[in-house]
Amino acid sequence: MFERHDAHGYWIAEAGPPQPAPALESERTADVVVVGGGYTGLWTAWHIKRLHPEASVVVLEAERCGEGPSGRNGGFVNGLWFSLPTMRKHYGDRPAIEVARAAAESVAEIGSFCREQEVDAWYRPAGYLQVSTAPAWDDAWGPAEQSCRELGEPDACVTLDADEVRRRCASPIFRGAGFYAGGAAGGRRRRRHPPRGSRRGPSAARARSPPPHRRPTPRRG
């Protein structure tokens, strides 16, 4: 099936371009100024207003909120279980498992946010498959599975055989997989829909604060 895909990616082509916010034409003061209206900036503004409703927050965006990588990414919401062996090596067991658990919680929290704020981001908590297509990759997830087990999260990564993988994704070349339960992807068609998510960000934040502003003279670095 042919799908539109332009310089801003498939998602924005599908949903239509984000609305430009009014340019900042004059001086204004705020308790917090957030530079950049991607996920990082919009989440920051959102959480500041959630924690301190009395705070005035201004989001400055050079182009349009959500039109950068936040609007054109793969749409996958992943935990960090597959990075657990590396994190253990660099930071030790306790920090590693705390980060992995926090990342898993954030996957669920994004789903809760979409539900509570009625964000039509096609969020679907379907898990994450790390598949093997050749003998060399047959146990690629083994170290992650072992680390999850050793650090008290045996269900975070489990091995699926070829038949179990095929029931989830019927490719004849998949030989087996590691299945990570904490992961989300799009519902109606495929993955989380980034611009639909980041589009609601400004309007959700706006309900709590003044609207985001474009910089008067945009410049891309």
Q: Give contact residues for ligand FAD (rule: CB under 6 A).
A: 35-41, 60-63, 67-70, 73-76, 215
Nearest distance, CB of residue 62 and ligand FAD, angstroms: 4
Residue 191 Cβ vs ligand FAD, minimum distance, rounded to whole Å: 7
Nearer to ligand FAD, 75 or 182 (CB): 75
Cα–Cα distance, 53 to 36 (Å, whole number)? 21
Nearer to ligand FAD, 106 or 146 (CB): 106
Token digits for 206? 């706006």
Nearer of residues 35 and 102 to ligand FAD, judged by Cβ: 35
Taking CA 162 as the corner, what is the angle to CA 81 and CA 111, rounded to the nearest 5 degrees?
A: 40
Decide whether 79 or 176 has the Cβ nearer to ligand FAD.
79
Question: Is the separation of the CB atoms in 79 and 103 below 8 Å?
Answer: yes
Question: With respect to ligand FAD, which residue has the nearer C-beta, 115 or 215?
Answer: 215
Question: 199-217: string of b/e by CB count within 10 Å (b at 16+)?
Answer: bbbbebbeeebeebbbeee
For the CB of residue 205, give the shortest distance to ligand FAD in the complex, in Å.
13
- Least separation in angstroms between residue 97's CB and ligand FAD is 21
Cβ closest to ligand FAD, residue 20 vs residue 74: 74
Question: Smallest gap, in angstroms, from Cβ of residue 118 to ligand FAD?
Answer: 22
How many CB atoms are closer than 10 A to CB 32?
15
| Cα 102 to Cα 29: distance, rounded to the nearest angstrom | 34
Nearest to 68 by CA among 181, 162, 195: 195
Question: How does DSSP assign 169-216, residue by residue?
Answer: S--TT--EEEEESSEEEESSSSS--HHHHHHHHHHHHHTTSPPPEE-S
Minimum gap (Å) between residue 150 Cβ and ligand FAD: 26
